[in-house]
Amino acid sequence: MGFVCAPLTLIGVIWISPFLLPVLFIWAICYDLFKSELPPGIDQPLKLRFYHSLLVMTAVLGRILEKLGICRDISLLRFMLDGIPPLWRDSKLLIRDLKFAEVPVRVYQAKAPSVGQRRGILYFHGGAGTLGSINAFERVCRYIARETDAVVVSVGYRLAPEYLYPSQYWDCLNATIHFMRTVEDYQVDPARIILCGDSCGANFATAICQILVSRTDLPKIRAQVLIYPGLQGLDFYLPSYQQNRSVPILFRDRVVYFCLRYLSKDTSIVEDVLKSSHVPEDMKLKYKKWISADNIPEEFKIRGYTPQKPPSYKYKHDVHEVIKQMLEVMFSPLLAEDAIVSQLPESYILTCEFDVLRDDGLLYKKRLEDNGVRVSWYHNEDGFHGVLTLFGYGIFSFPSAKKILDNTVNFIKKL
């Protein structure tokens, strides 16, 4: 399918570009100026505005190409977000494309011999379960492998909507189990296996860690590394969802929109989900102890937060039936019981100030600490969601991406 879509997408863009692209880009810039908000302190706001305008233009152009029958709208977004492949081989790394339990992976391993066994890192990329790829995170994984002297396995899980939820979790889980059973082939210490991911990839890492705590036939996970994770689909009115609702590149309504596309559901119910109409009252009360603005430190409520006044929503059973998978523990690992959370390994959580998903990370940090799990937390004060996607492009990158990766690498090197 990919071999067909990519050429058709490129042909469609070339055919339509002389006529429409300049107009679309001007429109996208105007859209960004009126719809987005760039709060004081965010990393390189003008550059972010430019990239966001490109993203908006690509999304609109994708819909036009879909209407013309050239390709699906999501194909063009994937094509763009794959980025530009590195123009040179990495002289320090052996990089191989393999399959673990039929799941495509890319393995990054230092060419130089090691005096002992190395760490093993499984990396699950972000992209809302519908976007992203091994190629898109090539620079990130190369950097982690070089700087930590670890064997990094980047997992190319299948994407929705072509492959229905929860195929993505099973791919990540199966690749992880395969690696855990064959670590000796890569000179990896079975006691130092780390699960790492960003955005929805961090969600996968979290869920897999929870699944594996009860497995006695496999090595124990040494640590989980969660970079701006999305961990719950219950409350989209937390402080960070309000404060950063219009901050590129991930608006508040787009979180729900991509969740619905990921689950292959009707996107017309976005507004109902944003208002929590999908959550039964008894469930909302049950999980309030874990998912509530009351559990967010006060210093994160200063900027543009208004407490929700009950009752601010009306439960709709039909909406719940459509989207109830969002309230399952696999999709929302923040809802896992204490008996599971208390068994989790040492954890690293990274949050960005200008990210709608910031509070998911803060809430999980509290849950882990309340259950006696050791947590290292790094808060990037000028970062925004998805900033790692542009890591490694020189002047086209953002300084916050380098800070995020360097802090993450420093944590891993201590394990």
pLDDT, tens only, 36-57: 999 999 999 999 999 998 898 8
- Which of 22, 51, 81 terminates a domain? The answer is 81
pLDDT of amino acid 16:
52
**Does residue 74 sit in the same domain as residue 203?**
no
Question: Would 350 be classed as within a structural domain?
Answer: yes
- Which of 25, 53, 81 terminates a domain? The answer is 81
Question: Would 157 be classed as within a structural domain?
Answer: yes
**Does residue 215 sit in the same domain as residue 262?**
yes
320 catalytic residue (yes or no): no
Structural domain range at position 383: 92-415
The residue from 32, 278, 385, 397 that is catalytic is 385
The residue from 355, 359, 360, 382 that is catalytic is 355
**Does residue 27 sit in the same domain as residue 135?**
no
Mean pLDDT estimate for the chain: 91
Count up the domains in the chain and report the number.
Answer: 2
Handedness of CA 31, 34, 36, 42 (dihedral sign): positive
Q: For residues 190 and 49, what is the distance between their CA atoms, to the nearest angstrom?
A: 44
Taking only the tens place, the pLDDT of each residue in 154-191 is 999 999 999 999 999 999 999 999 999 999 999 999 99
Whether 295 shows a pLDDT value over 50: the answer reads: yes
pLDDT of amino acid 201:
98
How many other C-beta atoms are found inside a 10 Å radius of the C-beta of residue 11? 13
- Residue 72's Cα: distance from chain center in Å? 22
Taking only the tens place, the pLDDT of each residue in 261-288 is 999 999 999 999 999 999 999 999 999 9
- Which of 50, 81, 112 terminates a domain? The answer is 81
Q: For residues 242 and 234, what is the distance between their CA atoms, to the nearest angstrom?
A: 15
199 catalytic residue (yes or no): yes
Max CA pair span of the chain: 62
- Own/partner pairs, 76-81, CB within 8 angstroms, 24+ separation: 76/9, 76/12, 76/13, 77/131, 78/131, 78/132, 78/133, 78/159, 79/6, 79/9, 79/10, 80/54, 80/55, 81/127, 81/131, 81/132, 81/133, 81/136, 81/389
CB 382 within 8 A of CB 267: no
CB 313 within 8 A of CB 183: no
Q: What is the percentage of the chain residues whose pLDDT exceeds 70?
A: 93
214 catalytic residue (yes or no): no
pLDDT of amino acid 310:
60
C-alpha dist (Å) from residue 380 to 77, 306, 346, 364, 386: 27, 23, 20, 17, 13
**Bigger pLDDT: 10 or 155?**
155
Of 79-83, 225-229, 333-337, 395-399, minimum mean pLDDT range:
79-83
Classify the phi-psi angles of 411: left when phi > 0, otherwise alpha if psi is within -120 to 50, otherwise beta.
alpha
**Does residue 224 sit in the same domain as residue 285?**
yes
**Does residue 236 sit in the same domain as residue 380?**
yes
Whether 8 shows a pLDDT value over 50: the answer reads: no
Residue 108 corresponds to which tokens in the numbers above? 């990054």
pLDDT of amino acid 11:
47
Q: For residues 364 and 334, what is the distance between their CA atoms, to the nearest angstrom?
A: 6
Q: What is the percentage of the chain residues whose pLDDT exceeds 90?
A: 78
Edge-to-edge, what's the strand order for the sheet holding 188-198? Answer: 93-100, 103-110, 151-155, 118-124, 188-198, 223-227, 346-354, 375-384
Question: Would 210 be classed as within a structural domain?
Answer: yes
Question: Would 87 be classed as within a structural domain?
Answer: no
**Does residue 271 sit in the same domain as residue 252?**
yes
The residue from 53, 199, 332, 397 that is catalytic is 199
**Does residue 6 sit in the same domain as residue 96?**
no
SS (H, E, C) the chain: CHHHHHHHHHHHHHHHHHHHHHHHHHHHHHHHHHHCCCCCCCCCHHHHHHHHHHHHHHHHHHHHHHHCCCCCHHHHHHHHHCCCCCCCCCCCEEEEEEEECCEEEEEEEECCCCCCCEEEEEEECCCCCCCCCCHHHHHHHHHHHHHHCCEEEEECCCCCCCCCCCHHHHHHHHHHHHHHHCHHHHCEEEEEEEEEEECHHHHHHHHHHHHHCCCCCCCCCCEEEEECCCCCCCCCCCHHHHHCCCCCCCCHHHHHHHHHHHCCCCHHHHHHHHCCCCCCHHHHHHHCCCCCHHHCCHHHCCCCCCCCCCCCCCCCHHHHHHHHHHHCCCCCHHHCCHHHHCCCCEEEEEEEEECCCHHHHHHHHHHHHHCCCCEEEEEEEEEECCHHHHCCCHHHCCHHHHHHHHHHHHHHHCC
Question: Would 86 be classed as within a structural domain?
Answer: no
Taking only the tens place, the pLDDT of each residue in 205-251 is 999 999 999 999 999 999 999 999 999 999 999 999 999 999 999 99
Taking only the tens place, the pLDDT of each residue in 199-213 is 999 999 999 999 999
**Does residue 74 sit in the same domain as residue 172?**
no
Whether 90 shows a pLDDT value over 50: the answer reads: yes
Question: Would 228 be classed as within a structural domain?
Answer: yes
pLDDT of amino acid 308:
75
Whether 194 shows a pLDDT value over 90: the answer reads: yes
CATH classification at residue 365: 3.40.50.1820
pLDDT of amino acid 56:
86
**Does residue 176 sit in the same domain as residue 274?**
yes
Q: How confident is the model at residue 18 (pLDDT cuts 50, 70, 90)?
A: low
**Mean per-residue pLDDT for 52-73?**
83
Whole-model pTM: value is: 0.93
pLDDT of amino acid 20:
67
**Does residue 130 sit in the same domain as residue 181?**
yes
Of 21-30, 110-119, 234-243, 387-396, minimum mean pLDDT range:
21-30
